[in-house]
Amino acid sequence: MAQIVLFENIHPSAREVFTAAGLTDIATYSSALPSAEIFDALRGAELVGIRSRTHLDADLIGRLPALRAVGCFCIGTNQVDVNSAMLRGVPVFNAPFSNTRSVAELVLAEAILLLRRVPEKNNRVHLGHWDKSAAGAFEARGKTLGIVGYGNIGSQLSTLAESLGMRVIYHDVEAKLPLGNARPAGSLQDLLAQSDVVTLHVPGGKATENIINAQALAATKRGAILINASRGTVVDIAALHAAVQSGQIGGAALDVFPTEPKSVDEPLDSPLRGLLNVILTPHIGGSTQESQENIGREVAEKLVRFFQSGTTKGAVNFPELPYQDAGGNRRLLHVHRNLPGALGSLDNLLAEHGLNIVSQRLQTQGEIGYVITDVDGEVSDIVMAALRAHPITVRCDLV
Ligand SMILES: NC(=O)C1=CN([C@@H]2O[C@H](COP(=O)(O)OP(=O)(O)OC[C@H]3O[C@@H](n4cnc5c(N)ncnc54)[C@H](O)[C@@H]3O)[C@@H](O)[C@H]2O)C=CC1
Ligand SMILES: O=C(O)CCC(=O)C(=O)O
């Protein structure tokens, strides 16, 4: 079985990084695999690369003892049970801003197209109608853009929209630095009531599930446009369907869906198909040549650095230890339960086996601690077996 398994058509730049680092045992898949097939594909894999469609749940992670790290070649990591991965000593990496600009540009384009009613007009011309009316068509200039989630994408979009002359307001659960003339709205309800275009840029997960539901849609300014390029679970699709049909929502653009097709030939199952004032795109917010090449390189580099030196800088679920040159002969990566005396137990065990510590760094986070130890001398299989068998150990690797 391959040491590295990459799903979902990850850009070839990733393979270049792995092979340049001497990691050549790589299996690639052009799409996500059905859950019945994924275990066989991953058996024995040490590094796994996915995008948004491959789900790594607690059960699957638990059945992959060889797995050392996961790379999400995207921003979102909600498709991985990152807590279970952490508890098994598996760091998860992502590319936190390599596709930010691509998403912001698509959203801005969709806002303009929907304000001008282009999706319906495009369809009418294709059908032979030359309907040159200005009814319901507006400039973006002077309109209010409401951004829900003022993180990397939301704030990037904020500056682009202001350069078009839009008034920008935002709602975030954390205090955020307003860029340019953007201002925080008093609440989500307040944002919805004021905005001509509402766009969602929050993470997926339980806390954001259906935050745009029937009640939120009813509180939205009548005829406003809704754009969702975050995660499909953020919008209640049945409620949106009803709001579009009643005219409460004047147009919508959705790039993400509660359940997304796993491959090219699987159709999207959604009541929104066929509505002409709704733009549906196949989760391509971050899919540009520029972003995919950068993401391929960035995440592969993080995986290689972890695999070869143990650094967890940038991991989303793990104590972060930055890169440091190896000081000794061998380097031990030890993940343990975060209990008093854990480091002492590890060091005693090394001393019992005559290993001198050249340098050692510890970081803890929640339930686990992570120690990188450079030692003089060879680390025998006996020492590794003793380390792995110790009651505090979650996992231990030698690099
Ligand atoms: N369609 C696509 O292809 C892509 C989609 N995404 C999605 O976009 C999301 C956002 O990306 P970034 O801006 O890079 O993330 P980010 O982490 O920089 O920003 C997210 C923001 O949402 C805020 N937030 C969290 N819960 C909230 C709530 N309930 N209400 C209001 N604000 C809330 C956070 O405080 C944070 O400021 C990602 O998590 C990912 O799911 C990202 C890239 C591509
Ligand atoms: O490109 C992808 O597969 C996923 C993009 C995305 O949603 C993300 O980066 O979070």
Residue type, 94: N
Query: Rg for the chain (alpha carbons), in Å?
Result: 25
Phi, psi of 372 (to 5 degrees): -105, 125
Q: Give CA–CA dist 238/270, Å, rounded.
A: 9
147 alpha-carbon distance from chain centroid = 19
Question: What's the gap in Å between 107 CA and the centre of ligand 1?
Answer: 14
What pLDDT score does 2 carry? 64
Nearest to 183 by CA among 200, 166, 207: 166
Q: What is the mean pLDDT of the chain?
A: 96
Does residue 50 have its Cβ closer than 6 Å to ligand 2? no
Domain ranges of the chain: 1-99+288-318, 100-280, 324-399
What pLDDT score does 100 carry? 97
**Count of residues in the chain:** 399
- 100-280 has the same fold as 1-99+288-318: yes
Q: Give CA–CA dist 276/360, Å, rounded.
A: 61
Residues of the chain with confidence (pLDDT) below 70: 1-2
Which CATH class name applies to 1-99+288-318?
Answer: alpha beta
User: Which one of 54, 82, 99 would you pick to mutate in the ligand 2 pocket, going by the greatest count of ligand atoms within 8 A of its CB?
Assistant: 99
Using CA positions, which residue lies closest to atom 29 of ligand 1? 208
Catalytic residues: 231, 260, 283
What pLDDT score does 326 carry? 77
Where does the chain have alpha helices with state H?
12-20, 35-42, 58-62, 82-87, 100-115, 118-126, 152-163, 188-194, 214-219, 237-246, 289-309, 342-352, 381-389
Question: What's the gap in Å between 149 CA and the centre of ligand 1?
Answer: 6
Q: What are the tens digits of pLDDT across the range 88-130? A: 999 999 999 999 999 999 999 999 999 999 999 999 999 999 9
Task: State the residue for tokens 């147009």.
Answer: 251
What pLDDT score does 323 carry? 86
| Distance set, CA 272 to CA 47, 52, 256, 278, 342 (Å) | 38, 21, 12, 7, 55
Q: Give CA–CA dist 90/80, Å, rounded.
A: 11
Confirm whether pTM is higher than 0.95. no
Q: Give CA–CA dist 239/235, Å, rounded.
A: 8
Q: Give CA–CA dist 174/171, Å, rounded.
A: 9
What pLDDT score does 324 carry? 84
Answer yes or no: CATH 3.50.50.60 is held by domain 100-280. no
Contact 255, 284 (CB under 8 A): yes
Which run of H or E residues covers position 253? strand 249-254
Does residue 96 have its Cβ closer than 6 Å to ligand 2? no
ipTM above 0.90, yes or no: yes
Contact 31, 9 (CB under 8 A): yes
What pLDDT score does 30 carry? 93
CATH value of 324-399 in 3.40.190.10, 2.60.40.1180, 3.30.70.260, 3.30.70.20:
3.30.70.260
